[in-house]
Chain A
Amino acid sequence: IRKNVEDFTGPRERSDLGFITFDITADILNGKKCGLQTFWNKNTLIIFDWNVKQLFLYLSAEYSTKNNALNQVVLWDKIMLRGDNPRLSLKDMKSKYFFFDDGNGLKGNRNITLTLSWNVVPNAGILPLVTGSGHVSVPFPDTYETTKSY
């Protein structure tokens, strides 16, 4: 799972608004390695087994600001039904949801961590949340962008 990003921020009223463009390359089948090298056919059964109806994938940004010790914002999500292609290769994606901070904590914030996670929705049973391996840290610039259009 790899992501590359470029970004800029702009102030909107009282809160910082961040813009992130990203690529997602993910192989959900291999996302759940348990520290052992497993055979190919075993891997194909791990995530999408008979009891999995769908995966709800979401890309979240996690960061810390002066105002709030922990912030998490979902930038993008997707529903992957059983039978859909489990390999994602998305380029130049814009975030689906506005990345507003609660305050002005994005300007100059050096450490925004992006992680891909998913909620396994079974046909019946437990609803676990799984975090994919591989995350990317993104810094936001120290100044606001006033000229770029999104």
Chain B
Amino acid sequence: MATPVKVHGPPLSTAVSRVLACLIEKDVPFQLIPVNMAKGEHKSPDFLKIQPFGQVPAFQDEAISLFESRAICRYVCEKYAEKGNKGLYGTNPLAKASIDQWVEAEGQSFNPPSSVLVFQLAFAPRMKLKQDESLISQNETKLEKVLEVYEKRLGESRFLAGDEFSLADLSHLPNAHYLVTATDRGEMFTSKKNVGRWWGEISSRDSWKKVVDMQKQST
């Protein structure tokens, strides 16, 4: 029987890799379907049917079609609650509320400046696009302020939402990975005592290593 779970998009995409990390943590088998973004496949009429904003990833599971990586991750955690890492999205409402809080912090505070920096510092040079120094500088300042909050939090708590690795930490892996390994701004993470310790822990999880492998194999 064909695997019901399908993820459409390149593993190099941060949003796609967020979903892949979650599926692997939850031990959910999936099929990765390539989308040729260089050829504009993500803007084709067929693709827009499954992702009307023309972005990756798109996701299918049996009769459901979804998009938005954080919505997909939440669905995977709820639907496959008993598989793989059972505590990934918390096992009680209070734990879940704390995880939601830090997933929102990632989406609202960490993601915007880190996405700009990933694009400007890791992708633009490889795509031979001109970098915008003022945009880089503004977003470094923003991201630094966010990481200062994280430094304090991670001095009080092993992971963002509590003592266990959760969806909140996982959500940060894609952008942080590029900043640490593909730019010269990795020190923003590694030179901070608590953030550095946290980054070391979450990036050495087997699930993330598998995603990084998939990214390497796709180039």
A in complex with B: no
Chain B residues close to A by CB (< 8 Å):
none
